[in-house]
Amino acid sequence: MELEINKDFIEKIKQLILSKDDDALLTLLAEEHPADIAEIIDLLNLNDATYLFKLLDSEKTAEALMEIDEDDREKILQNLSAEEIAEEIDELDTDDAADIIAELPKDRKTEVISEIEDDEHAKDIVELLQYKEGTAGSLMAKELVKAKETWKIPTCVSRMRTQAREVTHVHSIYVVDKKDILLGRLSLKDLLVASDDAFVSDIYIPKVDFVNVNDEAEDVARIMQKYDLEAIPVVNDKNQLLGRITIDDIVDFIKEEAEKDYQMAAGLTDDVEADDTILQLSKARLPWLILGLFGGLAAAAIMGGFENALKSFPILFFFTPLIAAMAGNVGVQSSAIIVQGLANDNIKGSMWKRLLKEVSLSLFNGVILAILVIIFGVIQNYDTKISITLALSLIVVIIFAALIGTFVPLILDKKGIDPAVATGPFITTSNDIFGIFIFFFIAKVILGF
């Protein structure tokens, strides 16, 4: 069912662009979904992409524009005039239109907005541009279907026909009073089964979920998921209906957030893809690698401080990667559980209880791993004191790493910082350093060098 966009297909399109065979191109792409057009455009070079973009109807390219890779979109938009961009904007819903305009350089923004034909559309877009990223307002669209409580059902149906033409997916009809204050909702289903002499006020459902325009996008996503909503109305502080958020935007939001957390945990700062340039990839990767490098140099400096152990207990130095790896792994595990728990809003209970639990958990895991190390030491005929040093250090390091992994994200979250920064390289690097220090400190106490 999905269009198979293979090499041959792209080659054919390139040929048709080269020979400027517009008719053949239009026929070939007439039935394609904008998302497929976007995928084709992503695979063409900038000139070909711009050519295709200008050739195709803006009804099709406008939706495609939303799906194109951000970098490619920026370049294509640079090749279009303000008027041409405004034509695309005219075809888009207000939320998508505002997203596109927000990406333009400042002076082009005003230019494009002034070129938008429909004044109402332009006004709505300007309104949406005000809302801060990460708020309900930034996800909301102005397109919706609303009914006044005073309407009769036939009036409502005929008004709805007009309104529905403007709205892609209807979902529900919001019911408002004369001051535009949200009262409830009418489901399409209810409207279909209602008798003709009823009023909207007779059949509307007064219970309606809604969010405030300043609510955090994350909370909106959580509420829509929790209550399985496909759209949610957005109101201002006076409860006046401003717009609505639909589930497709939430799907994109959830996916982006998950990818961001995943990349953060993997030590990637920017949103990168396998096909990005080496420079883009390096920009995302190098900062964390440099952090890791400094961590490693710090660990080396710590070992330098315990240099005299080299003569009497050189074997200790064979186990630093083990200690560092365990500290890192435990830290990442603990922080991942906390970061996910915070995202799902199910971190409850007191800090003291959590502290006690983390300590018991890591004591339990640590003892099991310590026993394994002692067994290994017996097999390898290690000096008992060395085995005890290793086993005891493992237990202490694991408890320490678990506490860092648990409480650093919790503290960051309390301070309003994204706790996901405390996953991945950040936690492994700091745990490496502390782990190695603890190891040599315990060794010094037990072995006395």
Residues 215-234 that bind a second copy (CB under 8 A): 223, 225-228, 230
Residue whose CB is less far from a second copy, 55 or 337: 337
Which of 65, 82, 173, 326 binds a second copy (CB under 8 A)? It is: 326
Residue whose CB is less far from a second copy, 52 or 264: 264
120-127's contacts with Cβ under 8 Å and 24+ in sequence apart are 121/89, 121/90, 121/94, 121/97, 124/94, 125/89, 125/94, 125/97, 125/98, 125/101
Which of 210, 407, 434, 440 binds a second copy (CB under 8 A)? It is: 210
Task: Find the distance separating the first CA and the last CA of the chain, reported in whole Å.
Answer: 72
Interface with a second copy includes 174 (CB under 8 A)?
no
229 phi and psi angles, rounded to 5 deg: -90, 145
Interface with a second copy includes 252 (CB under 8 A)?
yes
Pull the structure tokens for residue 16. 């048709």
Interface with a second copy includes 320 (CB under 8 A)?
yes
Q: Which residues from 415-444 bind a second copy, rule CB under 8 A?
A: 423-425, 428-429, 432, 436
**Rg of the chain over CA atoms, in angstroms?**
30
Residue whose CB is less far from a second copy, 131 or 434: 434
Q: Which residues from 277-296 bind a second copy, rule CB under 8 A?
A: 278, 281-282, 285-286, 288-290, 292-293, 295-296
Residue whose CB is less far from a second copy, 45 or 360: 360
Residue whose CB is less far from a second copy, 122 or 253: 253
Which segment (16-24, 51-59, 120-128, 309-317) binds a second copy by CB under 8 A? 309-317
Q: Which residues from 345-404 bind a second copy, rule CB under 8 A?
A: 346-349, 354, 357, 360-361, 364-365, 368-369, 372-373, 376, 398
Interface with a second copy includes 79 (CB under 8 A)?
no
CB of 449 to a second copy, least distance (A): 14
85-90's contacts with Cβ under 8 Å and 24+ in sequence apart are 85/112, 85/115, 86/112, 86/113, 86/115, 86/116, 86/117, 87/58, 88/58, 88/61, 88/62, 89/62, 89/116, 89/121, 89/125, 90/58, 90/62, 90/116, 90/117, 90/118, 90/121
Residue 441: is it exposed, middle or buried by C-beta count within 10 angstroms (0-12/13-18/19+)?
middle
CA angle at residue 82 from 81 to 87, to 5 degrees? 95
Interface with a second copy includes 270 (CB under 8 A)?
no
> Site size for a second copy, by CB under 8 A?
112
Interface with a second copy includes 198 (CB under 8 A)?
no
